[in-house]
Amino acid sequence: MASFTTLRATATVHLLALVAISNLVKTDYINFYNIRPPVEATPFPKSFKCFTCDQAHDNYNCNRWAEDTWCPQNTQFCMTVHHFTSHGKTKSVTKRCAAREDCYMVGCRRHRDTSHMECVSCCEGMICNIEVPTNYTNAVFAKRQTVYSSAPPQRTRALLTIASLGLSRLFAG
Ligand SMILES: *[C@@H]1O[C@H](CO)[C@@H](O)[C@H](O)[C@H]1NC(C)=O
């Protein structure tokens, strides 16, 4: 059993190395020394993660300390709720996995009594909710057009993993 796990981990490393070499030119902005192969298997097909935090002080602290867990199977999107003053100063950031219905509330609203603003955005994809929405141009429901219409080639999938790992290091690390 142990040797099987090791074998699988080794295979993953080899795959990542192959992908890294074959795409060196295209992906030279990624620091490959920072990349460690995922040690866990995906819990189910199409599984993904979101930055997840509850009323963090600001976006940095949300991303920095966000939980690293898979989203539940009944969710498909990552949601961000940004609460800020009329001067644009962040009051709180909340991020979570979301179902499609949750995402119908994207957009910006002004609180009548505090005159604070709240912008909500949704996106689709592995830890896609990096930034916070600040106005109507980015407080949107960003769905991927081609997602899962057919199974992407293995290489693309591995690259996506690398890219998201790189992003999570960049923004969370
Ligand atoms: C919306 O916010 C983004 C990011 O803060 C900013 O770059 C952009 O200029 C803003 N757009 C408008 C219309 O205010």
Percent of the chain exceeding pLDDT 70 equals 61
State pLDDT tens for residues 90-108: 999 999 999 999 999 999 9
- Sign of the C-alpha dihedral, residues 63, 69, 70, 74? negative
- Calculate mean pLDDT across residues 117-132: 95
**Between residues 27 and 152, which one has the greater pLDDT?**
152
Residue 134 CA, closest ligand 1 atom number: 2
| Cα 72 to middle of ligand 1, angstroms | 32
Q: Which of 87, 134, 136, 140 to mutate to test the pocket of ligand 1 (most atoms within 8 A of CB)?
A: 134
| Cα 118 to middle of ligand 1, angstroms | 15
Task: Classify burial at 131, counting beta carbons within 10 Å of its beta carbon; exposed 0-12, middle 13-18, buried 19 or more.
Answer: middle
Name the nearest CA neighbour of 105 among 117, 116, 118.
118
27 is written with which tokens? 């992906």
| Cα 135 to middle of ligand 1, angstroms | 6
Per-domain residue ranges for the chain? 47-147
- Calculate mean pLDDT across residues 131-146: 92
| Cα 138 to middle of ligand 1, angstroms | 7
Has residue 88 got a pLDDT over 80?
Answer: yes
Residue 135 CA, closest ligand 1 atom number: 1
Q: What is the pLDDT of residue 114?
A: 86
Beta strands 77-84 and 141-142, pairing class: unpaired
Q: What is the pLDDT of residue 171?
A: 53
Pocket, ligand 1, Cβ cutoff 6 A: 134-135, 137-138
State pLDDT tens for residues 141-157: 999 875 554 545 454 45
36 is written with which tokens? 């460690």
40 CB-near residues (< 8 Å, 6+ apart)? none
Q: What is the mean pLDDT of the chain?
A: 76
Q: pLDDT category, 15, cuts 50, 70, 90?
A: very low
Has residue 78 got a pLDDT over 50?
Answer: yes
Backbone angles phi, psi at 65, to 5 degrees: -110, 15
59 CB-near residues (< 8 Å, 6+ apart)? 82, 90, 93, 131, 132
Closest protein CA for atom 14 of ligand 1: 135
Task: Classify burial at 132, counting beta carbons within 10 Å of its beta carbon; exposed 0-12, middle 13-18, buried 19 or more.
Answer: buried
| Cα 134 to middle of ligand 1, angstroms | 7
Q: Assess if CATH 2.10.60.10 describes domain 47-147.
A: yes
Closest protein CA for atom 13 of ligand 1: 137
Closest protein CA for atom 4 of ligand 1: 134
Q: What CA–CA distance (Å, rounded) separates 97 from 114?
A: 28
